[in-house]
Amino acid sequence: MNPQTSDKDRVYIFDTTLRDGEQSPGATMTLDEKLQIAEQLDDMGVDIIEAGFPIASNGDFDAVVAIAKRAKNSVIAGLARAITADIDRAGEAVRHAKRGRIHTFVSTSPIHLAHQMNKTQEEVLEIVTRTVTQARNLIDDVEWSAMDATRTSIDFLARCTEAAIKAGATTINLPDTVGYSTPEDYGDMFRQIIEMVPGSDKVIFSTHCHDDLGMSVANSLAGVKAGARQVECTINGLGERAGNAALEEIVMAIRTRHDAMPYFTEIEATHLSRVSKTVAAASNFPVQFNKAIVGKNAFAHESGIHQDGMLKNAQTYEIMTPESVGIKETTLVMGKHSGRHAFKDKLRDLGYELGDNQFQEAFQRFKDLADRKKHIYDDDIIALVDDEMGSGSDRITLKDMKVVSKTGGEHVCDMVLDVDGQDVSVSVSGTGSVDAIFNAIKEAVGDDPHLVIYGVDAVTGGTDAQANAHVRLEMNSRIVSGRAAEPDTLVASARAYLNAYNRLLMERGASAQGAMAG
């Protein structure tokens, strides 16, 4: 903690990567991935982790329970609509945490009231009082959110906020649900509400901003300047549509510009790079190269003038160091003679604690990789382990594949898949190698999901680099992503497609999901 600051300047970080972030179409994560992310957020000092939306599906409920049971320091929050069953379910899930929170929300804007809820303002006020009271009867820590607060009249927002505080809410969140606000407007809203509402000094006000106009971080910080002391954000800015305010940007802006924003968070910023990579891999949303703080190019100085300045004094062009956010030079790690101990130490160094089975699998894959690739770097190990964690529970796996391609000729894929323990063999052609592979999988599983995105990039340099393949599929209005890392681009592509298809098969309740909001 900065010695010049006092508790009134502390900004609590509420991470919603596992809830709002996972709502992003295609970002569905497995339980193992969610547990891994939650553990890293907890270790990094995140104050509140919104672990999911327990009523949405049994999978969501189980994930919130599992995260709640393991969390060491973070408060674990579960989201609930203003519906009795939602609030009960959220309470049931978070009661396993050392410190749990129910986060309940209702829309307050005229457009939502008229077209989505078909309710009057008086009815909404009654709902706020009833649902916050219900939540408070289950747990002491209750957050209430006014969905679409930024398009709600100040007077009605003040009445709702007052009702929520009177009913026992301890945190009041005023979201910019549709990413419409500007920093001036967002700050003014907090200033007015804090001034108008009796009891506002007894609660913590929270920001929650979406990035539709690219202003989510600026808006969140304007909210803090106006008195909010909790910021809701996600790693890599993952989230509905254009995403949420990026946690790493909020934390580093407050830290780097302490002169302009005299606040502090308890986040250990050196963990940021690692958590960003884990979330990118689990959600299959790669981080854009020029993304602030965690992008590959965020600290790269290409132009001659910049390089010259950097060599003379890093501060000429660098306002924060790569080390301060945990970016390390990718190092040469090991080769085929490296043993189990060295591999385990390396995993620990990279932030992984694997169970026995997962460790054995990862070690075997490392050995196979080392037989095929001379130099193995940190990034190779990260890709390999993330791949292992993301595909552990796949029902359908690739057993064997042969692709024959000919310039101007036919491309044929012979493939054997293990489908729930049974071998299924097919031989299918396509307009290119990848087309033949994807056609073969579709034929073998008897389904035809729409291919939304297919991409490949290299994990490191060199022609023997591992290929990281990403596939996004859509079927029955569900969008999922898959990934795989392999030295062979075609095998990586096949496994990424299968990884996505396996996620389509994962149980997930669509009904409650449809009612979720940004």
Work out whether 517 is an interface residue with ligand KIV (CB under 6 A).
yes
- Contact pattern from residue 225 through residue 244 relative to ligand KIV, giving x for each residue in contact according to CB under 6 A and a dash for the rest: --------------------
Q: Supply the minimum distance, in Å, between the C-beta of residue 105 and ligand KIV.
A: 4
- CA R_g for the chain: 24
Query: What is the side-by-side order of every strand in the sheet holding 411-419?
Result: 396-404, 411-419, 422-430
Region of 172-180, 322-330, 362-370, 381-389 interacting with ligand KIV (CB under 6 A): 172-180
Nearer CB in complex with ligand KIV: 238/504: 238
Q: Does 50 bind Zn ion (CB under 5 A)?
A: no
DSSP state of 175: E
Q: How far is the CB of 169 from Zn ion (least distance, A)?
A: 18
Beta carbon nearer to Zn ion, 53 or 264? 53
Q: Minimal distance in Å, beta carbon 149 to Zn ion?
A: 11
105 binds, among Zn ion, ligand KIV, none (CB under 5 to 8 A by kind): ligand KIV
Return the ∠ at Cα 229 (arms to 22 and 239), rounded to 5°: 15
- The 3-state DSSP class for residue 473 equals strand
* Among 14-22, 34-42, 162-170, 457-465, the segment contacting Zn ion (CB under 5 A): 14-22
Is residue 208 within the footprint of ligand KIV (CB under 6 A)?
yes
Binding string, residues 48-87; x marks residues near ligand KIV by CB under 6 A: ----------------------------------------
Stretch that binds ligand KIV, among 54-62, 150-158, 170-178, 426-434 (CB under 6 A): 170-178
List Cβ neighbours of 348 (8 Å cut-off, separation of 6 or more).
none
Q: Please state the closest distance from residue 173 (CB atom) to ligand KIV, in A.
A: 6
Residue 145, binding choice from Zn ion, ligand KIV, none, Cβ under 5 to 8 Å by partner class: ligand KIV
Q: What is the rounded CA–CA span in Å between residue 204 and residue 192?
A: 15
Q: What's the Cα-to-Cα distance from 486 to each of 243, 410, 411, 481, rounded to whole Å?
A: 30, 25, 21, 17
Single residue of 9, 15, 20, 39 touching Zn ion by CB under 5 A: 20
Q: Is position 204 an interface residue for ligand KIV (rule: CB under 6 A)? A: no
3-state class (DSSP) for residue 176: strand
Among 20, 248, 387, 394, binds ligand KIV (CB under 6 A): 20
* Strand, coil or helix: 109: coil
Task: Determine if 186 is a binding residue for ligand KIV (CB under 6 A).
Answer: no
The pattern of x and - marking residues 281 through 310 that bind Zn ion according to CB under 5 A reads ------------------------------
Residue listed under structure tokens 């929650």: 208
Please give the helix or strand (H or E) that residue 256 lies within, else none. Answer: helix 247-256
Task: Give, as one character, the DSSP assignment of residue 418.
Answer: E
Residues in a beta bridge with 427:
414
Q: Tell me, what DSSP letter sits at residue 200?
A: G
Which token pair is 74? 């973070």
Asked if 21 interacts with ligand KIV (CB under 6 A), we say: no
Min dist. Cβ of residue 137 to Zn ion (A)? 26
**Per-residue tokens: 198:** 């009796």
Nearer to ligand KIV, 53 or 363 (CB): 53
Distances (CA, A) of 345 to 281, 363, 509: 22, 12, 40
Scan residues 94-153 and list those touching ligand KIV (CB under 6 A).
105, 145, 147
Q: How far apart are CA 473 and CA 335, in angstroms?
A: 36
Which run of H or of E encompasses 280? helix 272-283
Q: Which stretch in 161-169, 171-179, 384-392, 405-413 sits in contact with ligand KIV by CB under 6 A?
A: 171-179
Using the rule CB under 5 A, is 15 a contact of Zn ion?
no
d(CA 161, CA 314): 48
Angle at which helix 84-94 crosses helix 121-138, to 10 degrees, equals 30
| 175, 223, 390, 449: which one binds ligand KIV (CB under 6 A) | 175
Contact by Cβ (8 Å): 51, 64: yes
What the block records as the tokens of 310 is: 């950097």
- Interface ranges with ligand KIV (CB under 6 A): 20, 105, 145, 147, 173, 175, 177, 208, 210, 517-518
- Interface ranges with Zn ion (CB under 5 A): 20, 518
